[in-house]
Structures are given as structure tokens and as C-alpha cells.
Amino acid sequence: MAGPVRRGTRNVPGRSYRRWVIEMRTLTKRFGERTAVDALTVTVRSGVVTGFLGPNGAGKSTTLRMVLGLDLPTAGTVAVAGRRYAELDAPLRTVGGVLDPTGLHPGRRGADHLAALAASNGLSRRRVAEVLDQVELTSVAEQRAGDLSLGMRQRLVLAAALLGDPAVLVLDEPINGLDTTGVRWLRTLLRRFAAEGRTVLLSSHLMSEMQQTADHLLVLHAGRLIADVPMQQLLQQARPAVAVRSPQAEQLRRLLTGRGAQVVHNGADALTVTGLDASRVGEAARAAGIGLHELRGEQPALEDVYLQMIAAADGRRAAAGAA
Ligand SMILES: Nc1ncnc2c1ncn2[C@@H]1O[C@H](COP(=O)(O)OP(=O)(O)OP(=O)(O)O)[C@@H](O)[C@H]1O
Ligand SMILES: [Mg+2]
């Protein structure tokens, strides 16, 4: 761990974290011929949860590793609060990182892992007990990391990230392996961190979870940023869908299709309709004497908009390659 450490200066909730942004400027990482991250320029703001999306191999982990000083950029810069990770006085107090839990030493006890991190960052032993309690690992703290379940190892990595009560949290697929209680706990923690004004950057492939957790989204595609957009703005692009249940579902499907809607069966008596709003569907059914058991407008799904965005980017890339 780098640099001299200021002791006894934990961040106080409610203090201003506004300057703790993550700034990437033409950030680039090449592995041989392959460009994993391609001139990424973006500012990750404080006070919101920023979701980091992109297909497998898009470059998310490589980007997050560069934020955490674990990979060096080939070109460009990344800074937290205006400084490179290696220049931070007390890295764990500034940035907490959650990366792949397979990186844990399997022979090391959870409590010892945290104690070593605490010692090298000038943090108290008391803080180790606090974070173990926070992630509900106290009872297994003396077990070796290799003997812990996947979800428990994930919690241990989270505990390490929280140790310095950091202003910035960077999390690479932190939900994988967590049980339902853990998923909800983490979502609540990240929302609270953002509400306190801290900076949260989070990657995940779980779109429904991302939709509930993130305020803002960055989407990476083949190393390039293809979206930097508030969640609400993105969801407005989704075509609203209407869920209908009717004992005459097939008759209703033909009726609505005839009026220009796109209709798919969702089981024997259930339909999902796009292209007509709920009131028009209801009116059409009533006029035709078709009974309805259910009629409701569905929440636009991040998954749908995201998949459209990736398909469009795939198309542009294929066209550029063919040209
Ligand atoms: N150490 C490395 N050496 C060579 N290539 C690498 C290395 N790390 C990553 N890559 C390559 O960089 C690209 C981006 O990988 P990265 O792990 O950042 O993607 P990702 O968006 O995190 O994907 P996933 O969703 O699967 O986690 C991939 O093509 C990958 O093969
Ligand atoms: Mg990854």
C-alpha cells in the first residue's frame, strides 16, 4: 500500500464527498493487439449509484482494475479525487474495491486478511470487528478463505472494501453468489452510500438488480463508451408494454394485432402487448365483448432497452467492419 497514512481520520457521514469523483480521460488499455478499453472519457459523479454495463469482454473489469491501480493504463489517465490511485495517501480510506473473490488467499483466515489490510492502512482492529459484523461474517471469521462458500467470500471482499469507510466504492459484479438477504443488504448499503454523497461505481449483468440500484448508467461495448445516461432517461426509450389476461386470449390477440399492436402469448390466457396503451387495449376488448381478467401497464424493463442498445452497437460495428 502506498504512502504515509493519516491516522484517526475516518470519513464522517454527512460530510461533503463532492470532490470524490472518478475521472477517466482517454483511458486506454491494450493487451498485445487487443484493445480492451478504448479511449474512455467519463466522469463518475458522487451522490449517485452509477451502473457499469456491457457484454462479456467489453472491458468493464479492466477499467475497474485501472481505477483501483491494479492495471496500468496503456494511455490516458484515471484519477479519484484528482489523484492517481498510487498517489493516494490512504487508499483504503478513499476507495474501496470489490473485485473477483477468487483473488483471496485460500489458506488465510478471513479475520487475518482484514487485520493485515487494516494494519497496512493505519486502521484499528476495532474496525475489523465492525465490518465483519456489518457483512454478517463474525461467526466464520476464523475460517480459512478457501473453506468459505462463494457468497461468504464475496462478503469478505466486501468487508475489505468497507474497512476504510471509503468515499468511493468500486464494485465488479459484487452480487454474484450473494443470497437474497445479501443482495438486498448490498442494494440498501449502496443506496445509502450514494445518499450520503459518496461515489459508487458498480458492474453487474443482473439487469433487474441494476434497475433497482443504479441512478445513472455507463455502457461499454468493445472497449468504447456507448452510453452515459440517467436511468430514468434511458427507461423512457423503452416501449411501454401492457400485460393482459383473458379467457379469450387468442381472439384478443388477433383483434389487437389487427389494430397494429405487437402481441405475444405469455401462457395460455396471458398476452404481452406493445404499441397500444392499457386504456386502448381495454376499450378494444370491451367493444368486441372480450372479457378481461387482468389489465396492467408494465414497468419498462432495463433489460429490453439494454439489449436493443447492444444490438444496435453490434450492427454499427459490423457495418463499419464491412465498409
Ligand atoms: N490480463 C489480460 N491479458 C490479456 N487480455 C486480457 C486480460 N484481461 C482482460 N483481457 C481482455 O480484455 C478484454 C476485456 O476484458 P474484461 O475482463 O475487462 O471484460 P468485462 O467487460 O469485465 O467482461 P465480463 O462481463 O465477462 O466480466 C477481453 O477481450 C479480455 O480477453
Ligand atoms: Mg468482468
Per residue in 14-39, pLDDT (tens digit) is 556 667 899 999 999 999 999 999 99
In the chain, where are the structural domains located?
22-235, 239-298
22-235 CATH choice from 3.50.50.60, 3.40.50.2000, 3.30.479.30, 3.40.50.300 = 3.40.50.300
Work out the pLDDT band at 103, boundaries 50, 70, 90. confident
**Cβ pair 230, 215 in contact under 8 A:** yes
Name the phi and psi angles at 221, rounded to 5. Answer: -140, 120
Ligand 1 contact via 59 beta carbon (within 6 Å): yes
pLDDT at 227: 97
| DSSP element (H, E) containing 57 | none
Q: What is the pLDDT of residue 184?
A: 94
Sheet holding 216-221, edge to edge: 95-98, 168-172, 199-203, 49-53, 216-221, 224-230
Which residue has its alpha carbon closest to ligand 1 atom 30?
57
Provide mean pLDDT across the span 288-297.
95
pTM given for the model: 0.85
- Burial class of residue 177 (count of CB atoms within 10 Å of its CB; 0-12, 13-18, 19+): middle
Phi then psi dihedrals of residue 174, to 5 deg = -75, -15
Ligand closest to CA 218: 1
Q: How confident is the model at residue 323 (pLDDT cuts 50, 70, 90)?
A: low
Look up the CATH number of domain 239-298: 3.30.70
Q: What is the number of the ligand 1 atom nearest to the C-alpha of 32?
A: 4
Residue whose CA lies nearest to ligand 1 atom number 24: 56
Average pLDDT over residues 32-52: 97
Q: Has residue 5 got a pLDDT over 60?
A: no
